[in-house]
Amino acid sequence: MIQRNILDILKLVESGKLTAEEAILKLKLQPFEDLGFAKLDYHRGLRQGIAEVIYGQGKTQEQISAIVKVMLDKGQSTILVTRISIDTSQYLKKDYPVHYNKAGQIAVIGEMPKPDGIGKILVATGGTSDMPVAEEAAFTAEALGNTVIRLYDVGVAGLHRLLSYLEEIMSARVIIAIAGMEGALASVIGGLADCPVIGVPTSVGYGASMGGISALLSMLNSCASGVSVVNIDNGFGAGYLASMINHISAKP
């Protein structure tokens, strides 16, 4: 059905009844496919530049495998699957090539793309305990075609650690600052860098951190310009946004 609709649109362009710009708009509005338990949006890559990502948490291994199969059959060469266990990754490995990041509980099925982003994405954490969220962010960015620099355990409790990497901070095109506790890292980096900073509050911390709410509020109230904030523990969202920024070139 989808291929027939695309062929009809191309024939209209060929006959001169439809302009190329009008055809692109129609292709962006193409329908999804209903699998019963999931509705796959094959044209998200055309609309947004990045294909649909599978959120694995809450899905069965069989459901994830079925979605992957259909997406591969439709020609998608790189499929990103977030929030999956090592057991699920092993299950998928029986049928597909899987690149699994254990710390971030995230995987790519198919090909890992070569970096084509304009610059480098720096992923920094306040502490080692923030690494699972950081790896989700870093691996997401890599899976979307970016060169990533990891800078872990450079929180404000030992500020000299962060300041010893000023060259990396100054040369990054996007920085993802990941921290729990009071979440001060995003503000500190925001006051040093000349590029967008994406703050990721984590649920790391003692009682009054309230599962990351304290870090979230601190980052939202940052006095440093150029700091934006994603949801608590949302490494994927930060990596995705950083990739979008890193792929934006100057428009005429």
Bridge partners, residue 159, by sequence: none
Tell me the pLDDT band of 1, cut-offs 50, 70 and 90.
very low
- Residue that wins the pLDDT comparison between 97 and 75: 97
pLDDT tens string 38-69 = 666 666 666 667 777 889 999 999 999 998 98
CATH class of 120-246: alpha beta
pLDDT in tens, 135-150: 999 999 999 999 999 9
pLDDT band at 188 (very low <50, low <70, confident <90, very high): very high
> Taking Cα atoms as reference points, which of 170, 91, 185 lies closest to residue 134?
185
Q: 30-35 long-range contacts, Cβ below 8 Å, gap at least 24?
A: 30/2, 30/5, 30/6, 31/1, 31/2, 31/5, 33/2, 33/70, 35/66, 35/67, 35/70
The CA distance from 166 to 175, in Å, is 12
Average pLDDT, the chain: 88
The fraction of the chain above a pLDDT of 90, given in percent, is: 67
User: Beta-carbon neighbour count of residue 50 at 10 Å?
Assistant: 17
Per-residue pLDDT for 30 more than 70? no
Nearest CA-CA partner of 53 in 69, 34, 40: 40
- pLDDT tens per residue, range 89-133: 999 999 999 999 999 999 999 888 899 999 999 999 999 999 999
DSSP state at residue 206: S
Per-residue CA distances from 46 to 1, 12, 50 (Å): 18, 19, 7
Q: What six digits make up the tokens of 36?
A: 């019963």
Contact between 187 and 222 (Cβ < 8 Å):
yes
Domain definitions of the chain by residue range: 30-110, 120-246
The rounded distance, in Å, linking the Cα atoms of 224 and 186 is 8
pLDDT of residue 92: 95
Summarize the confidence of residues 186-208 as an average pLDDT: 95
